[in-house]
Structure 1
Amino acid sequence: MDLKSALMGISFATIWAAAFTATRVAVVEMPPLLALIMRFGISAAIAMGLAAALGQSLRLTRAEWRTVVVFGLCQNALYLGLNWTAMQRVEASAAAIIASMMPLMVAFFGWVSGRERLRPRAVAGLVLGIAGVTLIMSVRLRHGLDLAGTLMCVAAGVALTVATLAVRGAGGGSNVLMIVGAQMAVGALALVIPSALLEWGRPVHWSPRLAWAMGFSILLPGILATFIWFRLVTRIGAVKAAAFHFLSPPLGVAIAALALGERFGWTDVVGSLIVAAGILLVQLARVQPRPAQGRPGI
């Protein structure tokens, strides 16, 4: 892996981890689904406008349209809709830990469905990941972590896993920025009716704090991180790109503690490092070894 790819992966993981802190701020000040509609709508307009200016179009292949629809529904509407709603009840660091388990869920469901075999290293990674999350959540539940919100975060992780498995190998090609914008638009449209039914009449507390949180969510996780992800997958493949998720547990916990003053005990530190090690082991086990150099046929 070259230096540029490594920097892209680290940047993505950092933005992705920080997004939970910004989300926690936003959902305290306004209804979560309405906030997501605003985020997706503005992000879609910016991304698609930039894409059009760069000569990109909506003339997409069938695989690219599949990416747009599946990611728009599963990642944006379901994953983020559930996560943002849950984060009215749970801390940003807890949501980040659960969401970071996505690579472990992908490996597990891939094995259950018969799509891939688990090497011993991957099995060890799954065990470590589950142990780390259990350590963190068992202590937090004793300190009042909301169970319903936690289960919503788990359901959100399953939705993201489905999206990842469904569009594995789709990197975006030359229309990557247009695809980013289009799947945001799908997510916004999918949440209009649920927001109207569940959030009608709920107040919005406009403040500089809310403006910062929404601005951060729109520009960095909404556009920049998604763009980096698609380009990184195109550059090094989905398996190697997903390996950078191992950075998200410790980063998510640390950023939430620094920015929001959330709980930061020894179990959070040790547990997040265990989860990170588990994710890394699973992803390393899925990387195919390079073939031996030599003449063809040898």
Structure 2
Amino acid sequence: MKSTPRPIDAAALAIMFGLCAVWGGQQVAVKLAVPVVPPVLQAGLRSLIATVLVGGWMLWRRQKLITGDGTLPAGLLAGLLFSLEFLCIFVGLTHTTASRMAVFLYSAPCFTAIGLHWTVPSERLRPMQWLGMAVAFCGIVVAFSDGSGSDLATTWPGDLLGILAGVFWGTTTVIVRASRLASAAPSKTLLYQLAVSAVLLCTLALGTGNVHVGPMTATTWVSLAYQSIGVAFASYLIWFGMLTRYSAARLASFSFLSPLFGVTFGVLVLGESVGWRFAGAVVLVFAGISLVNRRH
């Protein structure tokens, strides 16, 4: 029996703000490591390291890694979707910029809201909340509308993979919220996805021969640590814990903040420039999130 999700409170707001800041740096971190570690191998190693960390966390807390709670089918499906999402992200980033990837990847809340609207009665959004989703997404489009001068003829494969990644992310959230995983321990939900993706992505890297690693630099080590420990382990563990307590559709609306953080990190780390549209985009994003999280 699924519990009724709580309304978004101050604690959830603060946590989601921090998570979005962490997620916002993910594309930049991947870009920094791609010249040294091939994208598919990088994604697989990231999941493998995080799998060990989550497994160790569960053992330390004396949680069972394997139980007969009926979550295995949904867990394997979520793991497959998780694998496809990050395969699209990491490969896509070799064809498009981090900024463009963020635009399409963070269409995921829209797919999440649509899926939950039809599968979980307590997650249904009202017209005003759908308007909030649209306003927030328009803010993201505005933030990147001046782009970086990239040629669409060369970036469209990466852009398409970004859209697919958003679909897979949104679908994964729906699976977690609409199945027995909604009442499972957050660590177990995450372990399913990390373990499956570690196996699939590392196998794919080996099968395609994309396993050559260049000379490791300090930047590469920091990037891998950030992706594995900061994002895949810590932030996702917190995220799945949030999904068991709060409305998934409303939490997902906050992820529109992540690409705005991504722009900031792009400026500070990669030296990218942003135009005046960024300030307007921030207003639109916060307005959209406010509409989505309005109470009855």
Higher mean displacement: 88-97 or 214-223: 88-97
2:79 aligns to what?
A: 72
1:219 aligns to what?
A: 229
TM-score, normalising length: structure 1:
0.82
* Distance (Å, rounded) in 2 between the aligned partners of 1:28 and 1:264: 25
Question: 2:164 matched to 1:158?
Answer: no
Give the secondary-structure state (helix, strand or coil) at the position aligned to 1:140: coil
Runs of at least 5 residues in structure 1 that lack an aligned partner in the other structure:
290-298
Give the secondary-structure state (helix, strand or coil) at the position aligned to 2:35: helix
Are 1:78 and 1:159, in contact at CA under 8 Å, matched by a contact in 2?
yes
* Distance (Å, rounded) in 1 between the aligned partners of 2:229 and 2:264: 22
Question: 2:193 matched to 1:183?
Answer: yes
Higher mean displacement: 65-74 or 226-235: 65-74
* Distance (Å, rounded) in 1 between the aligned partners of 2:125 and 2:247: 19
Q: Which residue of the other structure, out of 38, 42, 51, is the alignment partner of 1:35?
A: 42
Q: Which residue of the other structure, out of 77, 84, 88, is the alignment partner of 2:90?
A: 84
* Distance (Å, rounded) in 1 between the aligned partners of 2:137 and 2:10: 31
Question: 2:273 matched to 1:263?
Answer: yes
TM-score, normalising length: structure 2:
0.82
Higher mean displacement: 237-246 or 144-153: 237-246
Are 1:43 and 1:222, in contact at CA under 8 Å, matched by a contact in 2?
yes
Question: 2:208 matched to 1:208?
Answer: no
Runs of at least 5 residues in structure 2 that lack an aligned partner in the other structure:
1-7
1:245 aligns to what?
A: 255
Are 1:40 and 1:187, in contact at CA under 8 Å, matched by a contact in 2?
yes
Assess, with a 3 A threshold, how the Cα gap between structure 1 residues 273 and 97 changes in structure 2: closer, same or farther: farther
Are 1:101 and 1:279, in contact at CA under 8 Å, matched by a contact in 2?
no
2:113 aligns to what?
A: 107
Assess, with a 3 A threshold, how the Cα gap between structure 1 residues 199 and 257 changes in structure 2: closer, same or farther: farther
Question: 2:108 matched to 1:98?
Answer: no
> 1:263 Cα deviation (Å)?
3.1
Higher mean displacement: 154-163 or 83-92: 83-92
Please report the RMSD computed on the Cα atoms of aligned residues, expressed in angstroms.
2.9
> 1:156 Cα deviation (Å)?
0.6
Are 1:13 and 1:245, in contact at CA under 8 Å, matched by a contact in 2?
yes
